[in-house]
Amino acid sequence: MNPVLTPKKLMFRIAVAAGILLLLMFLCSLIGSKTIHLGVVLQGPRLESGQANVDYEIYMHVRIPQIFLAAIVGAALACAGVVLQAILRNPLADPYLLGISSGAGLGTMLAVVVAGVSWSFWGISSITLSAFVCALATVWVVWLLGGGGRRGGMSGLLLAGVVVNAFLSAVIMFLNSIAQAGQIQTTIFWLMGNITALENYGLLWISGGIVTAGVLILLRLSVSLNLLSLSPEEARTAGVNVKWVYQGCFAISALITAVAVSLSGLVGFVGLIVPHAVRLFIGPDHRQLIPLSALAGAGFVVLADAVSRTVVAPAVMPVGVVTALAGGPFFLFLLVRRGGKLYTER
Amino acid sequence: MAVIEVEHLRFGYTQTSILTDLSFSVNEGAFCAIAGPNGAGKTTLVRLLAGLLKPAGGTIRLNGEKLSSYAPKSLARQIAVVCQEYVPVFDFTVLEMVMMVRLNRRDFVLFEDESDRHIVAEALEQTEIVHLAGRKLNELSGGERQRVFIARALAQKTPILLLDEPTNHLDMKHQIRIFDLLKKLQTEQQKTILAVTHDINMACQYCDHAMLLAGGEMAWGNPSEVFAVERLKCVFEVDGFQGSFRSKPFFIPLSGRKKDTAGRE
């Protein structure tokens, strides 16, 4: 009998995907409104003539942090999308469904419009902090309102998420209507999803570390997720501690999504289409789906970010606009190719 | 030795109780049929025995210990459950579906080993679905899916099997094959088997114990006594004919319409 999945096969696929991602990141680091010569960058911070090396400065302090941020955001969103689709057993689930997006949006609005002054703590801007805290608080409220996934009844959670999202969106619109023009510019850009170079390497390491750890823990839970994605009752009789896995998966996806959203705003579609696209190629086994979706999501946002930097250069288009413009038609293409249904109807 | 002991079991989803004060015990290596009209609480009883529902009163003991004291993983080593057939959301293959239950048995394991492969292959053979191994579950017929779910339960290698209408959706040939397989598992591996079934005749042929659930109460014992013709007529509200073949009773339900309409007119 053929093996279902061997460690060798999984490692090979991860290695190939990681290789493609690194190549993509390298190529995208050379693209931007200013042409950069790699040879010049390699000369270091000072040119032979003693002048500051502008190419090096741009490459190390703008391009590299921006590309790594794009990869972190993409990996987090795609991985959270996979996990939420599995535990909600709903192929239309998306990391923003459970109130994270509107919570973070509210956090941003509060930081910009209500607090007014901009401040920072340990190099982290008030917008990022406020968005992160409000995102997690909102998810917690949704979890409580939705009954905490009691008995695997996930419809309460979905419903609570939808209602909280709608309510907070109204609050955001209200705050927008009383905000000043300059403030609106900031918040609109944030709401559209916007990856900008993070001057703070420390924050980049921390967020990268959180997302990597999250993906690894989710990978450890992938065997249980496979069983859960079929039916919570069957998973229970096969020995899965359903409540514990639900809570763990929910908390980790909320955390990594909140990290992504507080750094980049609402980059849409990644958490919905990347899991679908990857599933189409390698099937629904979460042992493969989790790591490969994380890598594919990272690649997708890195690419979208490169497009957003060049298409309307020297201006920058929000990356969320690129992912939605590319993701929407791609999703429809998948749908049409499969005769209007991605999954067997229940 | 009794592996499952149920004492004064009560349960209801709302205020009205479905099961009132059930007490019975199942010995190791017994093959029991659970029958009864729709809504009598057969599936509820299976879910209670599987630990999916908590009793409203009374106790269930497994190997002498309270069922609720078992952690999910250790319970899954004792009892395998075949729930009623369903269509999954995601497109897993038959092989993936069956292998899944093996992987969850150990901690910190992501991959199957040689013995898992051997056990899964055996389960696929026993349920005659080797040729379907690479197919997606969503492409299969109801009967084929049912056999995949039975294969999953067999792959769990538990001493106890709980089956909720295992021959639902199956044609006559496969009904017989599944009951033959269960009988074989009982006699060769001393497995304890509890199966919900609507087929009284199959129960009489294969099982050594039977339960007839109705109105929250039960009759429990030898199949030929439990399924006495007068009791069946009363519980299922049908007319019928009972005979005997190779000293096993059989029951044929007959149309009672004539009498009924006559009575009303």
In B12-125, the DSSP E strands lie at 19-27, 31-35, 57-62, 65-66, 79-82
CA distance B15 to A148: 24
Distance of CA B81 to the CA centre of its chain: 8
In-domain check, residue A287: yes
* pLDDT class of B265 with cuts at 50, 70, 90: very low
Query: How many C-alpha atoms does B88 have within 13 Å on its Cβ side?
Result: 30
Evaluate if residue A1 carries a pLDDT over 90: no
Evaluate if residue B251 carries a pLDDT over 60: yes
Report the gap between the CA of B29 and the closest CA in chain A (Å).
Answer: 21
In-domain check, residue A1: no
Range in A90-104, B36-50, B127-141 with the lowest mean pLDDT:
A90-104
Evaluate if residue A345 carries a pLDDT over 60: no
Tell me if B111 and A5 make a contact (CB, 8 A cut-off). yes
Report the gap between the CA of B216 and the closest CA in chain A (Å).
Answer: 24
Sign of CA dihedral A267, A268, A270, A271: positive
Over residues A184-200, the mean pLDDT reads 74
In-domain check, residue A257: yes
Calculate Rg over the CA atoms of chain B.
19
Which pLDDT does position B264 carry in this prediction? Answer: 44
Q: What percent of chain A has pLDDT over 90?
A: 24
Which pLDDT does position A123 carry in this prediction? Answer: 61
* pLDDT class of B78 with cuts at 50, 70, 90: very high
Which pLDDT does position A117 carry in this prediction? Answer: 59
Tell me if B90 and A343 make a contact (CB, 8 A cut-off). yes
How many structural domains is chain A composed of?
A: 1
**Quick check: A247 and A50 in contact, CB under 8 A?**
no
| Of A331 and A66, the one with more pLDDT | A66
| Of A35 and B186, the one with more pLDDT | B186
Which pLDDT does position B34 carry in this prediction? Answer: 93
Where does residue A310 rank: exposed (0-12), middle (13-18), buried (19+ CB within 10 A)? middle
Tell me if B100 and A5 make a contact (CB, 8 A cut-off). no
CA distance A286 to A289: 4
Which pLDDT does position B207 carry in this prediction? Answer: 92
**Chain A residues near any Cβ of chain B (below 8 Å):** 1-7, 10, 86, 89-91, 219-220, 222-224, 226-227, 229-231, 233-234, 236-242, 279, 283-285, 287, 343-344, 346
* pLDDT class of A153 with cuts at 50, 70, 90: low
Contacts of A239 in chain B (CB under 8 A): 72-77, 104-105
Q: Indicate the Cα dihedral angle A325, A189, A108, A202, nearest 10°.
A: 90
The residue behind tokens 């790699």 is A38
* Distances, alpha carbon A19 to alpha carbons A65, A266, A278, in Å: 19, 27, 16
In-domain check, residue A342: no
Contacts of B83 in chain A (CB under 8 A): 231, 233-234, 237
| Of A32 and B164, the one with more pLDDT | B164
In-domain check, residue A224: yes
Which pLDDT does position A346 carry in this prediction? Answer: 38
| Of A137 and B138, the one with more pLDDT | A137
**Quick check: B43 and B196 in contact, CB under 8 A?**
yes
In-domain check, residue A326: yes
Three-state DSSP state, B27: strand
Which pLDDT does position B262 carry in this prediction? Answer: 44
Over residues B95-100, the mean pLDDT reads 92
Beta bridge partners of A125: A120
Sign of CA dihedral A155, A157, A159, A161: negative
pTM of the predicted model as reported, rounded to 2 decimal places: 0.88
* pLDDT class of A344 with cuts at 50, 70, 90: very low
Contacts of A2 in chain B (CB under 8 A): 95, 133
Residue A14, domain extent: 7-337
What CATH number corresponds to the domain at position A261? 1.10.3470.10
The predicted-structure confidence for B206-242, as pLDDT tens digits, reads as follows 999 999 998 878 888 888 888 888 888 888 888 888 8
* pLDDT class of B79 with cuts at 50, 70, 90: very high
ipTM: 0.86
Evaluate if residue B93 carries a pLDDT over 70: yes
CA distance A243 to B183: 36
Which pLDDT does position A100 carry in this prediction? Answer: 84
Which pLDDT does position A16 carry in this prediction? Answer: 95
Which pLDDT does position A173 carry in this prediction? Answer: 85
* pLDDT class of B159 with cuts at 50, 70, 90: very high
Which among A227, A229, A237 is the nearest to B80, CB-wise? A237
In terms of Cα–Cα distance, which of A62, A127, A106, A57 is closest to A316?
A: A62
Range among A75-79, A335-339, B185-189 with highest mean pLDDT value? A75-79
Report the gap between the CA of A141 and the closest CA in chain B (Å).
Answer: 27
In-domain check, residue A235: yes
Tell me if B97 and A2 make a contact (CB, 8 A cut-off). no
At A303, list the tokens.
């690419």
Tell me if A239 and B83 make a contact (CB, 8 A cut-off). no
Evaluate if residue A327 carries a pLDDT over 60: yes
CA distance B29 to B193: 7
Report the gap between the CA of A177 and the closest CA in chain B (Å).
Answer: 42
Distance of CA B206 to the CA centre of its chain: 13
In-domain check, residue A272: yes
* pLDDT class of A338 with cuts at 50, 70, 90: low
Over residues A246-264, the mean pLDDT reads 88
Tell me if A238 and B97 make a contact (CB, 8 A cut-off). no
The predicted-structure confidence for B161-178, as pLDDT tens digits, reads as follows 999 998 887 888 888 988
